[in-house]
Structure 1
Amino acid sequence: MQARYYTLNEARAALPVVKALMSQVQEARSEILRLRPEIWPVLQKAAHNGGNAAAGSVYSQFDKLETGVKGILKMGILVKDIDMGLIDFLSIRNGREVYLCWKHGEEDLSFWHDVNAGFGGRQPIDPEDF
């Protein structure tokens, strides 16, 4: 999927949908990690040959995770880190490309960073700059 440019207002308007999709991704991720000790030996032995109930549950959770990530990507938003629930909206700040950065659990879209800076370079958003 190709990223698109978001204004600050557009990104904030999209945030409720992104929050719902990322919650789905995080729930699926947690369930996969919970089932991993039980299912990993089965998957190594069976690899799609019968499996068990836990295997079916893991496949279902992978489907939920994939659906959530694809939903975010279809909106032209970048998924940067599934473990953290980190996403970036491509935007323009003072004539150059930057990312409006949101992390699962944050109430609002409050940070931005340069495209090469990453999460560690996050800075508070000044709405006047966008």
Structure 2
Amino acid sequence: MGLFTVAEARDELERLMPVLDELLAIRADAAELAASLAPGGPQTGLGGLPELKAAQARLDELMASVQQTGAELKGFAPLLIDFPAELDGVPVLLCWIEGDRTLSWYHRADLGFAGRRPLP
């Protein structure tokens, strides 16, 4: 897939927000279910192994739907998504992390998250 403009990435992120919100909720359910299935684990009203397998399958579907947009899923907990782009001729990744409601950050492709800066 090609590069995103900042406007295209922001539009795509807005379309993805319901998917990301569902992903966060199911990730939490899956973590709780997994903990409850461990020996001596806490009881949960969410179910058991069948529900955990269903949650894991749904997580896979949601993550695939994110990646089908051309965005790169870089982290799962916290959720981290990069949109390949160019700023002033330099390859960058427009960077969204769980908790952000807008796309406001980027980093050079060669620097990674540590080089994250606010979008101009």
Shorter chain as denominator, the TM-score bin is 0.7 to 0.9
Higher helix share: 1
- The answer for the alignment partner of 1:31 in structure 2 is 29
- Which of structures 1 and 2 has the bigger CA Rg? 1
The alignment's TM-score, normalised by the length of structure 1, stands at 0.80
Between Structure 1 and Structure 2, how many residues are aligned? Answer: 113
- The SS at the match of 1:33 is helix
Identity of aligned residues (%): 26
More relative contact order, 1 or 2 (CA 8 Å, 6+ apart): 1
- The answer for the alignment partner of 1:46 in structure 2 is none
Moved over 3 A (4+): none
**Mapping of residues 7-18 of structure 1, within 5 Å:** 7-18=5-16
Residue 105 (1) aligns with residue 99 (2): yes
The alpha carbon displacement at 1:66 in A equals: 0.8
The alignment's TM-score, normalised by the length of structure 2, stands at 0.86
Structure 1 counterpart of 2:117, one-letter code: Q
**Mapping of residues 29-108 of structure 1, within 5 Å:** 29-40=27-38, 53-108=47-102
Distance 2:17 2:51 in 1: 23
